[in-house]
Structures are given as structure tokens and as C-alpha cells.
């Protein structure tokens, strides 16, 4: 396993949490510092009204030239501005979560280097990711930072001491690439490994309940599907052993702990309290390396992971890219805090 893979092996993605007293000021200060690096024209492009619902929902896994984003493109920032933006991401996310997101982001440069998107549409590469600030950074009033592009988007909404990072799209293309040091990188490899470990830990009767089909499907609650729900289907955690429940929480933890460690602890504890009401569903083979789909569904969490490309549809070849979604049906865009 390469060094980056070791760093992100416990990297995770979080939703709603009560922030510590120091978290919101730190995030807000980083946002203000970023704005301070921009010229007036850039600030006009990057800032949106807090009630701009269309911008909040303007995110997709599709590449530039296919999906029209709004905001400030990464390609137009100088290095000092880029450093300031990275500092805001780091103030919001955990070290492991930040490493995972950056690894997903860098995959798009690897895709471009392979010759994808050579024309005007589609367009691949890190430069085609966009930044938006929805609402003015504040320690008391709602505001959101939005960053994303092809195959990865983070929506972070701050409302006083509260933080929500759903909905976020957690995907990658290519699923594996070689970094500048010649090392293979699999940004979501640890999630895949833990998912196969869990499904193969189930006994035959549990698998009959959890496995809903023999081929992978697309995510159900992806971009453009805000406000929709999915059925509670699969195997309930209430019917799992203690060790299996621990394996389920390990899988969930890759998502609940994207945010800084203090906020992540509250979010993870929330999901664990509701574990008896949480379901694990699977589609596809149970042989590691196969194209698969899994979903975790509970009162305040929906996680979807769907393999795409070669190997999808039940084939044996390793999937070329991954679609994934992380939502809180009660709190996307910090809905319960804004209310």
C-alpha cells in the first residue's frame, strides 16, 4: 500500500455535528482570509446570496463542458489564492478526509493526462473544479462553501456552532492512478475493501437478506435528486452480531468522519445510536475486485457506492470509476439548523 493510501485508510466523510466553540470561528476566519486574497471581480463571481437555492443545488459528477457550474474556477486562481482555499478546506475537514478528497481531485488530472477531454467538451482536470461561497461567512448566520467538479463535490454548510457536509458526492475517475512518485493511488480503495469484508462476514441467511441483486446499479440519490428518499431495504444492523455491527460502523466511519475530528465524533455517535434502525444493502458479486453497489440507510444517513465502467454489470474486471453519495435525509444543506 502506498503512503497516500495509508494516510486515507481511515479517511471519512461526515454530515451534521455540533461544532466545538473553536471550530466555527476557525472555519469562518479561513473563509474571510480566502476572500481577502481575491480581487473585486473574483469576489463578485464567487459569492452568492444565502437564499440562492439554485446555486446550492448546482453540483454534479459530470465533467466541465457537459454540466455548467457557476462560481470561481480553480484554473483562474494564483498560488496564494489556492493556498487560502486549501486552508479553508483543511479547517473544515479532518486531515484524513482532506487527503481523500484531494486524492479524488488529483485523479481528474490523471484522467486528463490519459487523453480524456481533448476537445472543448467534456473537459477534465483539476482546473475545471469550481468554488462558491453561498452567504457571507459568519459565526452566527447560515452560509455554505461549495467546491466540486467531475466526480467529487463537497457542500459544507455552517450555521452557528453547527456543521453539515451533506449532500456530498464521493466518487473518483479513474479508480486507480499513478501519482508523480510512481505510486498507485486508490482514493476509495479502503471503502471498497471494508465493504467486501462486511458482506463476506455475513452468514448465508444474512446474505440472502442483504443482497438484492447480482449486478451493480447506479446511485439513486445523486445530483438533482434532493428531497427524494430510498426504501429501507437489506439487512438491518439489529440482526448483526457485535463484530458485524463494528464492521458496519467502520464502513460508515469513512463518511461520517470527513469533518474535523471534534465535529466527526458527534456525528459518528449519532449514527451509532440509531444503528438498530440502519440497513445494509448490496448488489453484485461478493468477490473482491468485482463491480458492486452498496447502500447504508438509516434515520439520518444514506450512503451509496456504485462501481462504473469495465466490470460493471457483474463482470470480473476491476471497475474504472466510482460514483458515490453521502446524504442526511433530515439535514442536507443543514436544513434542520436553518429552520
- pLDDT for 3 beyond 50: no
* 213, β-bridge pairs: 283
- pLDDT for 2 beyond 80: no
Condensed to tens digits (0 to 9), the pLDDT of residues 253-262 reads: 999 999 988 8
pLDDT at res. 258: 92
pTM value?
0.90
Q: What percent of the chain has pLDDT over 70?
A: 89
Distance of CA 244 to the CA centre of its chain: 24
pLDDT at res. 12: 36
Condensed to tens digits (0 to 9), the pLDDT of residues 213-243 reads: 999 999 999 999 999 999 999 999 999 999 9
pLDDT category, 326, cuts 50, 70, 90?
Answer: very high
Nearest to 164 by CA among 44, 327, 295: 327
Task: Identify the three-state secondary structure at position 91.
Answer: helix
Mean pLDDT, residues 57-65 taken together: 94
pLDDT at res. 310: 66
Mean pLDDT, residues 93-109 taken together: 95
Task: Give ∠ CA 270-273-279 in degrees, rounded to 5.
Answer: 100
Backbone angles phi, psi at 268, to 5 degrees: -65, -40
Three cell numbers written together for 314: 457483474
Mean pLDDT, residues 62-91 taken together: 96
The CA distance from 195 to 201, in Å, is 10
- pLDDT for 7 beyond 60: no
Nearest to 337 by CA among 179, 185, 157, 103: 157
pLDDT at res. 116: 64
pLDDT at res. 27: 97
* 47, β-bridge pairs: 133
Helix ranges restricted to H, the chain: 3-8, 23-36, 40-46, 53-56, 79-92, 95-113, 189-201, 204-210, 242-256, 261-273, 335-338
pLDDT category, 123, cuts 50, 70, 90?
Answer: confident
pLDDT at res. 118: 55
Contact 160, 139 (CB under 8 A): yes
- pLDDT for 18 beyond 70: no
To the nearest whole number, what is the mean pLDDT of the chain? 90
HEC-encoded secondary structure of 207-242: HHHHEEECCCCCCCCCCCCCCCCCCCCCEEHHHCCH
pLDDT at res. 313: 44
CB environment 16-45: b (16+ within 10 A), e (fewer): bbbbbeebbebbbebbebbbebbeeebeeb
**317 or 250, greater pLDDT:** 250
The CA distance from 326 to 221, in Å, is 9
Condensed to tens digits (0 to 9), the pLDDT of residues 158-204 reads: 999 999 999 999 999 999 999 989 999 999 999 999 999 999 999 99
Amino acid at each position: 500500500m502506498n503512503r497516500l493510501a495509508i494516510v486515507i485508510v481511515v479517511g471519512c466523510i461526515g454530515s451534521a455535528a455540533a461544532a466545538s466553540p473553536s471550530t466555527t470561528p476557525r472555519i469562518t476566519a479561513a473563509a474571510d482570509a480566502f476572500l481577502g486574497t481575491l480581487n473585486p471581480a473574483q469576489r463578485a463571481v464567487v459569492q452568492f446570496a444565502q437564499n440562492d437555492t439554485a446555486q446550492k443545488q448546482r453540483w454534479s459528477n459530470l465533467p466541465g463542458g457537459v454540466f455548467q457550474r457557476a462560481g470561481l474556477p480553480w484554473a483562474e486562481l494564483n498560488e496564494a489564492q489556492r493556498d487560502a482555499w486549501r486552508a479553508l478546506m483543511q479547517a473544515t475537514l479532518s486531515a484524513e478526509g482532506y487527503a481523500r478528497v484531494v486524492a479524488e481531485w488529483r485523479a481528474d488530472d490523471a484522467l486528463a493526462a490519459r487523453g480524456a477531454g481533448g476537445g472543448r467538451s467534456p473537459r477534465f482536470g483539476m482546473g475545471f473544479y469550481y468554488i462558491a461561497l453561498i452567504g457571507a461567512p459568519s459565526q452566527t448566520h447560515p452560509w455554505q462553501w461549495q467546491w466540486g467538479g467531475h466526480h467529487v463535490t463537497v457542500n459544507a454548510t455552517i450555521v452557528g456552532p453547527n456543521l453539515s457536509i451533506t449532500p456530498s458526492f464521493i466518487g473518483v475517475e479513474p479508480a486507480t492512478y499513478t501519482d508523480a512518485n510512481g505510486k498507485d493511488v486508490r482514493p476509495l480503495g479502503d471503502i471498497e475493501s471494508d465493504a467486501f469484508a462486511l458482506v463476506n462476514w455475513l452468514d448465508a441467511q444474512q446474505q440472502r437478506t442483504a443482497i438484492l441483486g447480482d449486478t451493480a446499479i447506479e446511485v439513486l440519490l445523486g445530483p438533482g435528486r434532493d428531497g427524494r428518499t430510498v426504501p429501507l431495504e437489506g439487512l438491518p444492523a439489529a440482526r448483526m452480531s457485535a463484530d458485524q455491527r463494528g464492521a458496519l460502523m467502520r464502513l460508515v466511519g469513512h463518511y461520517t468522519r470527513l469533518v474535523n475530528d471534534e465535529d466527526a465524533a458527534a456525528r459518528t455517535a449519532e449514527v451509532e445510536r440509531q444503528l438498530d434502525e440502519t440497513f445494509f444493502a448490496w448488489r453484485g458479486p461478493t468477490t473482491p475486485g468485482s463491480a458492486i453497489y452498496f447502500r447504508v440507510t438509516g434515520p439520518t444517513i444514506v450512503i451509496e457506492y456504485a462501481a462504473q465502467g469495465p466490470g460493471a454489470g457483474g463482470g470480473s474486471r476491476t471497475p474504472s470509476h466510482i460514483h458515490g453519495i453521502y446524504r442526511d435525509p433530515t439535514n442536507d444543506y443543514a436544513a434542520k439548523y436553518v429552520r
